[in-house]
Structure 1
Amino acid sequence: MKNAQESDTQKSAKRGKVTVTIYDRGNIPSGQGTVENNLMTKWINQAGPVDVTFIPLPRTQSDQKLNTLFAGGGAPDLILEYAPHVKNPLIDQGQLRPIDDMIENYSTTYKALLAKFPALRKAGKGTDGKLYQFGRINETIPQRGVFIRKDWLEKLHLNIPQTTEEMYQVAKAFTEQDPDGNGKKDTYGLALAYNAVATLNEMFGVTYPGFVVQDNQLIHGWENIQAVTAFKKRFYAEGLVDKDFYTDKNGSKAKQDFLNGKIGIYMDQFNVPITFYNDFYVGLKKNVPDAELAIMPFPKTPVGRFNPIFVNPIQMTGVVNAEAKDPEAVMKYVDFAASETFMKTMYYGFEGVHSKTLPGQCPQMTDLNKWQKEFNYASGDFGMLASPTLAGKCYFGVEKMDTKDPLQQEVTKMFEANSSFIDFNLQMAGPTHSEQMPQLPKDLQEILTDTMKQVDVGDGDIWMKAILTPNYSPEQAKKDAIAAWEKAGGKQVDAWYKAFYEKDKDTIILSKDIYDIFKQQRALQNK
Structure 2
Amino acid sequence: MKRWLYVSLAAVAAAALVTACSGGGKDPAESADPGGSSAAGTPAKKGDITVSVYDRGNVPASEGKIESNRWTKWINENGPANATFVPIPRTDPGQKWNVLFASQSAPDIVNEFDPNILNPLIDQKQLMPLDELIDKHSVEYKQLLKDYPALKKVTTGPDGKIYKIGRVLTTIPLNAMFIRTDWLNALNLQVPKTTEELYQVAKAFAERDPDGNGKKDTYGMALSWRSENVIDGMFGSPGSSYGLVNGLPSRAFENTRAAVEFKKRLYDENIVDKDFANDKNGTKARQDFLNGKIGIYPVFVSSWFDFSVTDMQTLKKAAPGAIVEPIALPKSPAGEYVPELQNPIQATTAINAKTKDPVAAIKYIDFIDRLSTGRTLRFGLEGTHYKLNERGCPQPIDPEKTKTEVSWAGDFAQSYSHLLDPKCAAYETQYNPSVPEQKAGLDMFGKAKKLYMDPNKQYRTVTLGEHMPTLPKEMQTTMNTVSKDINDIWLKSVLRGESYSVEQAYKDVLSTWEKAGGKQIDDFMIDWYKNKKDSSFLMKDLWDTVAKQSQ
- Whether the TM-score (by the shorter chain) exceeds 0.5 is yes
The separation in 2 between residues aligned to 1:22 and 1:114, in whole angstroms, is 25
Checking the alignment, whether the CA contact within 8 Å between 2:377 and 2:409 is kept in structure 1 is: yes
Matching of residues 230-379 of structure 1 within 5 Å = 230-270=261-301, 273-277=304-308, 280-285=311-316, 288-322=319-353, 327-328=358-359, 330-345=361-376, 348-357=379-388, 361-363=391-393, 365-367=395-397, 369-370=399-400, 373-374=403-404
Do 1:127 and 1:439's aligned partners in 2 also have CA atoms closer than 8 Å? Answer: no
1:94–1:322 contact (8 Å) kept in structure 2: yes
Determine the structure 2 residue equivalent to 1:194.
Answer: 225
2:448 maps to 1:418: yes
Instruction: Find the counterpart in structure 1 of residue 493 from structure 2.
Output: 466
* Matches for 1:444-483 after TM superposition, within 5 Å: 446-455=474-483, 460-470=487-497, 471-483=499-511
Q: Distance in 1 between matches of 2:309 and 2:435?
A: 13
Paired residues of 1:36 and 1:53 also in contact (CA < 8 A): yes
CA distance in 1, matches of 2:204, 2:110: 47
SS at 1:223 equivalent: helix
Aligned equivalents of 1:468 and 1:39: distance in 2?
52
Q: What letter corresponds to residue 414 of structure 1 in structure 2?
A: M
Aligned counterparts of 1:34 and 1:262: Cα–Cα separation in 2: 42
Match for residue 511 of structure 1?
A: 539
1:205 positional shift: 2.0
Change in 2 beyond 3 A, CA 1:279/1:455: farther
Q: How far off is 1:503 after superposition?
A: 4.5
Secondary structure of the corresponding residue to residue 460 of structure 1: helix
Partner of 1:399: 429
Among 389, 408, 419, which residue is 2:419 paired with? 389
Alignment gaps of 5+ in structure 2: 1-42
With the length of structure 1 as denominator, give the TM-score of the two structures: 0.81
- In structure 2, the partner of 1:3 is none
Report if aligned partners of 1:189, 1:263 keep a CA contact under 8 Å in 2: yes
CA RMSD of aligned residues (A): 3.7
1:149, CA displacement in angstroms?
Answer: 2.4
- AA matched with 1:446: E
1:453-484 Cα deviation digits (max 9, x unpaired): 33269x83333333344433333333233323
Which of residues 85, 108, 113 in structure 2 aligns to 1:53?
85
Matched with 1:8 is: none
Over residues 489-511 of structure 1, what are the superposed CA-to-partner deviations in whole Å (9 max), with x where a residue is unaligned?
32133233334434542222222
Query: What is the aligned length?
Result: 505
TM-score normalised according to structure 2 size: 0.78
1:170 to 189, 195, 201: 201
- Matched residues in 1 for 2:200 and 2:55: separation? 39
> Where does the alignment leave 5 or more consecutive residues of structure 1 unmatched?
1-10
Cα offset for 1:186?
4.5
Identity %: 41
Compare 306-315 and 189-198 and name the one that shifted more. 189-198
CA spacing shift, 1:493–1:107, aligned 2, 3 Å: same
- Measure the CA separation in 1 of the matches of 2:533 and 2:520: 18
Deviation of 1:135 (Å): 0.8
Greater mean deviation of Cα atoms: 427-436 or 187-196: 187-196
Q: Are 1:488 and 2:516 counterparts?
A: yes
C-alpha distance in 2, partners of 1:192/1:148? 14
Residues 371/187 of structure 1: CA separation in 2 closer, same or farther (3 Å cut): farther
Give the superposition deviation at 1:279. 6.0
CA distance in 2, matches of 1:171, 1:371: 45
Counterparts of 2:59 and 2:311, CA distance in 1: 16
Q: For the residues of structure 1 that align with 2:194 and 2:96, how far apart are their CA atoms?
A: 41
Counterpart residue type for residue 437 of structure 2: L
Partner of 1:4: none
Alignment of 1:25-104 (within 5 A): 48-49=79-80, 50-53=82-85, 55-59=87-91, 61-67=92-98, 70=101, 75-100=106-131, 102-104=133-135
